[in-house]
Amino acid sequence: MTIIRTLRWKDEFRGNPAHQKFVAERLKGLKAALRAQIHDGTGERSLRLATWNLMHFGDGGGYDRTTESMLYIAEIIDHFDLVAVQEVNRDLSKLQELVDGHLGGEWDYLVTDTAGGHRDSPGAGNSERLAFLYRRAKVQFCKEAGEIVLPEGQEIAAPGEAGGSRPIQFARTPFTVAFRSAWLRFKLCTVHIFFGEGAEGLEQRRREIEKIAGFLAQRQEDERDAMIARAAQNKWVRPEDAGRDANYILLGDFNIISPEHNTMQALKAAGFEIPTALQKTDLGSSHHYDQVAIKAAHPGFKVIQSGVFDMLKHVYRDEDADHYLDVVKPRRILEDSDGNPRPRDRQAAYFKQYFRRHQMSDHKLLWCEIAVDYSDDYLDEIAGG
């Protein structure tokens, strides 16, 4: 349950009663949509897992989220149990505000150090962090977390001088964390794959996907072998149960072109499976950047359903443009970067193309429901034996 009392006392609402009422109505609509699309169709015996690129979250400037946007973002996240977030910025104050001021004590988070670069000269990593937000009552952090660094000799081959190549690491280091939800243990790895420009940039993108998928596939195999070896020495573990905890979920912003493109094939070639609904989903563009890919070891692992939540159908809608132009009147909409007034049609175009994306994101949220309660199967096996 989100904390929404800021809707009464924040100056942006107290000084503008019409906008305060408008945001209350939009929150009601957003809650209803999330209940209908997520909660009413999912069960408490499963895990609601999501991934969301939040577009320069915490970067300030044109990306500084208002309290209104923070209320919406928190409400969306609160309808899931575990959310991987990409593009968290160096400054963590907005993330802390999101958790402490809007999600509350039911939630906790883990976050990486920043990737290379800084705001004025961002470089390939764009000063970004990767994060996991999780509901304490549903998800347990298993005290294992780390950023993935490729071993020497297995680095990514990037273009070098005189047509050669040079070994490099990931532009943004993938982040892997061990979690448990009910009966299911799993490793969750979130990525924001290098984008790049032109043929060389696209090839580096493919190679990053290939490397992270291959690395995790090998890691899973090694873990299963180790679990089976331990089980052979432990009379309390049945051989058929050994290795079941080596479940890997790889998710985030892969910058994948399409399900048929070699960027997707690089992911599938390592044995990762993408829920069918997400493969067919139209994300509103010709790209399928965000993905959830699974390499399960537990025979009971099951993705019950999956989908995409399009927040801009419920907040900052096309039909809301007049409200922001006439009631809220953000300076960034009314004036250009030089302080010159924008004509009305350009104000509306700026709202739709830039303002609302900077307040929410230019990526939709992907989610899936995963079965985590195997107690019935466990009891059936004993009763039937």
Residue 118 lies in a domain: yes
Neighbours of 184 (CB within 10 A): 22
Confidence of residue 163 (pLDDT cuts 50, 70, 90): low
**Mind giving me the DSSP string for 59-100?**
--GGG---HHHHHHHHHHHTTSSEEEEEEE-S--HHHHIIII
Kindly state whether residues 233 and 343 are assigned to the same domain: no
The tens digit of pLDDT for each residue in 87-140 reads 999 999 999 999 999 999 999 999 999 876 544 434 455 789 999 999 999 999
How confident is the model at residue 206, as a pLDDT? 87
**Distance (Å, whole) CA 190 – CA 51:** 8
Q: Note whether 30 and 179 are same-domain residues.
A: yes
Distances (CA, A) of 232 to 218, 239, 241, 247: 21, 7, 11, 20
Residues β-bridged to residue 335? 341
H helix runs in the chain, sequence order: 6-9, 11-14, 17-37, 67-77, 93-96, 198-232, 262-268, 276-279, 321-323, 331-334, 344-350, 356-359, 375-384
- Identify whether residues 227 and 330 lie together within a single domain: no
CA distance 199 to 142: 41
**Do residues 223 and 79 share a domain?**
yes
Q: Do 329 and 216 share a structural domain? A: no
Is it the case that residue 284 has pLDDT exceeding 90? no
Mean pLDDT (whole number) for 30-38 = 97
Tell whether 1 is covered by a domain. no
**30 and 174 housed in the same domain:** yes
What does the pLDDT average to over 192-220?
89
Q: Are 242 and 231 in contact (CB under 8 A)?
A: yes
Answer whether 135's CB lies under 8 Å from 107's CB. yes
Across the chain, what does the average pLDDT equal?
Answer: 90
Domain shared by 12 and 91, yes or no: yes
What is the CA 182 to chain-centroid distance, rounded?
22
At residue 83, the pLDDT reads 98
> Could you read off the pLDDT of 46-98 as tens digits, one per residue?
999 999 999 999 988 889 999 999 999 999 999 999 999 999 999 999 999 99
300 and 205: one domain?
yes
Residue 160 has pLDDT above 80, yes or no: no
In a domain, 351, yes or no: yes
Does residue 163 form part of some domain?
yes
Same domain, 116 and 252: yes
Domain holding 247, by residue range, is 6-315+360-384
Residue 121, pLDDT score: 39
Q: What is the CATH number of the domain that holds 267?
A: 3.60.10.10
pLDDT at 122: 40
322 found inside a domain? yes
pLDDT of amino acid 286: 52
Calculate mean pLDDT across residues 294-315: 95
Does residue 268 share a domain with residue 338? no
Query: Nearest 5°: CA angle at 321, between 320 and 326?
Result: 105
Q: Classify burial at 199, counting beta carbons within 10 Å of its beta carbon; exposed 0-12, middle 13-18, buried 19 or more.
A: exposed
Both 155 and 179 in one domain: the answer is yes
What total of structural domains would you count in the chain?
A: 2
**pTM of structure:** 0.93
Tokens at residue 272, please?
């990762």
Question: 44 vs 132, 232, 371, CA distance in Å?
Answer: 20, 35, 10
Identify whether residues 198 and 152 lie together within a single domain: yes
Give the residue, 370 or 203, on which the prediction is more confident: 370
379: left (phi over 0), alpha (psi -120 to 50) or beta: alpha
Q: Decide if 157 is inside a domain.
A: yes
